[in-house]
């Protein structure tokens, strides 16, 4: 299945199977993020704040901020809300 995912400056076609359930690794793969950026984005979508994400991933809050900066650039978005909207629009996405 092809799905058009809109970004601020471009469009991205994402190929997924209908049975695929997206977890953090799947999000990273589909959106061309590092594994850790996928982890951070997954927990952003789950509604966790940067302190909770840092604790969950055993990293500092500053590192969470840096991963957010990088993934926002890669996704062509400017903030957390736009990044979350992009992920929840992906077919197969579900919080586990």
**CATH architecture for residues 2-88:** Orthogonal Bundle (1.10)
The distance of Cα 8 from the centroid of its chain, to the nearest Å, equals 15
To the nearest 10°, the Cα dihedral for 55, 59, 62, 65?
A: -80
Instruction: Please report the pLDDT score of residue 71 as a whole number.
Output: 96
- Give every CB contact of residue 65 below 8 A, 6+ residues apart in sequence: 50
Distance CA 21, CA 94 (A): 7
Q: What is the length of the chain?
A: 96
Residue spans of the domains in the chain: they are 2-88
Instruction: Please report the pLDDT score of residue 67 as a whole number.
Output: 97
Distance CA 55, CA 41 (A): 15
Residues of the chain with pLDDT under 50: 1-2
What pTM was estimated for this model as a whole? 0.78
Instruction: Please report the pLDDT score of residue 2 as a whole number.
Output: 47
């Amino acid at each position: 299945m092809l799905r058009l995912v809109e970004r601020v400056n471009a469009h991205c076609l994402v190929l997924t199977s209908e049975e695929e359930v997206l977890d953090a690794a799947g999000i990273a793969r589909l959106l061309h993020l590092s594994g850790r950026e996928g982890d951070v984005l997954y927990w952003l979508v789950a509604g966790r704040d940067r302190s909770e994400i840092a604790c969950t991933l055993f990293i500092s809050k500053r590192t969470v901020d840096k991963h957010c900066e990088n993934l926002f650039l890669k996704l062509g978005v400017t903030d957390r809300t736009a990044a979350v909207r992009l992920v929840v629009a992906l077919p197969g996405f579900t919080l586990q």
